[in-house]
Amino acid sequence: MQSHYDLIVIGAGGGGYPAALRLAQSGRQVLMVDEKGNLGGNCLYEGCVPSKSVREATVLWNQVARAGFFGLDAQRVQADWAKIRAYKDGVQTRRYQQHTQEIAKTPNLTVIRGQASFTDSYQVQVDDWDHHDQFVASATDIIIATGSEAQRLSIPGFDLTWNHHDLFAWNDTQPTLPSDMVILGGGYIGVESASMLADLGVNVTIIEMAPTILQGMDEDLVQAIRGHVGQRVKIVTGVMVEAVAENNGQYVVSGHKVQDAQPIQFRTSRVMAAVGRVPSIPSSLHLEKTGVYYDRHGITVDERMRTNVPHLYASGDVNGLSMLFHSAVRMSEIVAQDIMLGEDMHDSFNPHEMPTTVFSRPEGLAVGLTRTQAAQRGMAVEEYTRAMGTEAWAQIAGELDGFMKFVVSRSTGRIVGIHGVGVDASALSAAAHMAVRLGLTPAELGHMTFPHPTQFEILDRLARSI
């Protein structure tokens, strides 16, 4: 094993592997160390990919239940959790095999399943788990891409809770679902999980400390999703959870109402924690030996993912800027450009233009600023809205509810935010991101033509109406 590399990447998730592949393909010698020994990080192992696989099964099941709307006479379809798990695991396996092939085809790239620990800002000690070996390697540049981990609550009984691992981990999912469940946390992970579990027949209650679920998102979006999901899921907001306890095969969640401090309890068959994620900076990394600035919010970086130590970068969830897989990929690509081009690189990362999707039923999308966020920046804006159900595709699909909203700056006339709920909202977020990223005005967006009949037409038609 060589001792010096052009680049060492710690972590093979979205914040690490795009830069590793690109720089290796450019001729640089790259060492990547990851505990799973493959690409994809937690997103593939127990996050985005498996959760959306389960969600896709529930969407199809719901479509079959609506077969009569389309003039079809479908037999009753039952959900089989064991078979859904097998389907989910199969998707993950296929992607892991694909990534294994990518690694094999990439010249100049060495991937080690193991752990890396800094000895100083240029060197790491590598524990190679597959070969039971340990060695020290140095690099000209190092990318820290250790991702994030599920946040924990400092309350008694928190270890009794499930999290996303129990529902979505590759080949390690819980074999059965409970009849009912309490989910702690009403962010997008909690809402998505509640929506799909309810569609699988689980009686779900969401408990959220804030006054509303999906805190920080557009108010109309929150109201619309809560209105629909709330028909299948009990949503309780304004509750501070203080303890989880086991009692005669049941679980008791205890807390108090934030508004009046009145005690409140919930009894359930199972508790799942979805209280957010935090940057993962394990003590084994020995980051303190590098001189890099960091705190509980993550590693401090600039818009090019550079830390205060010139040759050290931190991309992905570990810097806390935007904890989304596609954001991590974007950051990783920026790091690759910065290493290759240096001061000739003119790209940068803006977390506020990253698209956020809520894969509930119905779906939601958020790109850019809300009216509230714009006001906090001293920006005067106007909002323009069009109903999703006015478009042909929504009518074909029989999904008429929801809306699309543009937030437009009064001073520049540019679209600074796009928010929506309804059919194909997750796909629409891609076009919404381009509009916000490019700083288009409604007139400029209105010059584009989206194919008929697709839900994308709502974007150019809303733009032309302004």
Whether residue 219 sits in one domain with residue 99: no
- CATH code, 21: 3.50.50.60
HEC string of the chain equals CCCEEEEEEECCCCCCHHHHHHHHHCCCCEEEEECCCCCCHHHHHHCHHHHHHHHHHHHHHHHHHCHHHHCCCCCCCCCCHHHHHHHHHHHHHHHHHHHHHHHHHCCCEEEEEEEEEECCCCEEEEEECCCCEEEEEEEEEEEECCCEEECCCCCCCHHHCECHHHHHCCCCCCCCCCCEEEEECCCHHHHHHHHHHHHCCCEEEEEECCCCCCCCCCHHHHHHHHHHHCCCEEEEECEEEEEEEEECCEEEEEEEECCCCCEEEEEECCEEECCCEEECCCHHHCHHHCCCCEECCEECCCCCCECCCCCEEECCHHHCCCCCHHHHHHHHHHHHHHHHHHHHCCCCCCHHHCCEEECCCCCEEEEECCHHHHHHCCCCEEEEEEEHHHCHHHHHHCCCCCEEEEEEECCCCCEEEEEEECCCHHHHHHHHHHHHHCCCCHHHHHCCCCCCCCCCHHHHHHHHCC
Mean pLDDT by 10 residues, the chain (466 residues): 92 98 98 98 97 96 91 88 98 98 98 98 98 97 98 97 97 97 98 97 98 97 98 98 95 97 97 97 97 97 97 98 98 98 93 97 98 97 98 97 98 98 98 98 97 98 98
Whether residue 107 sits in one domain with residue 53: yes
| Domain boundary residue, one of 351, 384, 400 | 351
**CA 349 to chain CA centroid, nearest Å:** 17
Whether residue 409 sits in one domain with residue 327: no
In the chain, the number of structural domains is 3
Whether residue 235 sits in one domain with residue 91: no
Whether residue 423 sits in one domain with residue 282: no
Whether residue 335 sits in one domain with residue 261: no
Domain containing residue 120: 4-59+77-149+278-351
Give CA–CA dist 224/214, Å, rounded.
11
Is 284 inside a domain boundary?
A: yes
- 8 A C-beta contact, residue 410 and residue 381: yes
Instruction: List 367's β-bridge partners, or say none.
Output: 418
Q: Please count the other Cβ atoms lying within 10 Å of the Cβ belonging to residue 178.
A: 18
Radius of gyration of the chain (CA): 23
Percentage of the chain exceeding pLDDT 70: 100
Residue 335 corresponds to which amino acid? V
- 8 A C-beta contact, residue 365 and residue 455: no
| Domain boundary residue, one of 326, 351, 376 | 351
Question: What is the residue whose two structure tokens read 């803006």?
Answer: 350
Claim: this prediction has a pTM higher than 0.85: yes
Give CA–CA dist 64/374, Å, rounded.
42
pLDDT of 403: 98
Whether residue 143 sits in one domain with residue 14: yes
Whether residue 175 sits in one domain with residue 233: yes
- 8 A C-beta contact, residue 177 and residue 202: yes
pLDDT of 20: 98
* Long-range interactions of 452-457: CB distance < 8 A, separation 24+: 452/392, 453/391, 453/392, 453/393, 453/396, 454/393, 454/424, 455/388, 455/391, 455/393, 455/394, 455/422, 455/423, 455/424, 455/427, 455/428, 456/424, 456/427, 456/428, 456/431, 457/391, 457/392, 457/393
Whether residue 142 sits in one domain with residue 52: yes
Whether residue 237 sits in one domain with residue 200: yes
Is 356 inside a domain boundary?
A: no
Is 368 inside a domain boundary?
A: yes
Give CA–CA dist 15/190, Å, rounded.
24
Give CA–CA dist 333/294, Å, rounded.
22
Give me the helix-helix angle, 325-341 and 17-25, nearest 10°.
30
pLDDT of 77: 82
pLDDT of 355: 98
Length of the chain in terms of residues written:
466
φ, ψ of residue 309 in degrees (nearest 5): -100, 115
Whether residue 129 sits in one domain with residue 40: yes
Give CA–CA dist 424/405, Å, rounded.
15
Whether residue 175 sits in one domain with residue 89: no
Is 70 inside a domain boundary?
A: no
| Domain boundary residue, one of 220, 252, 275 | 275
Is 64 inside a domain boundary?
A: no
- 8 A C-beta contact, residue 374 and residue 416: yes
Q: Which tokens belong to 241?
A: 């959870």
Is 72 inside a domain boundary?
A: no
Q: What is the pLDDT of residues 150-181, one digit of tens each?
A: 999 999 999 999 999 999 999 999 999 999 99
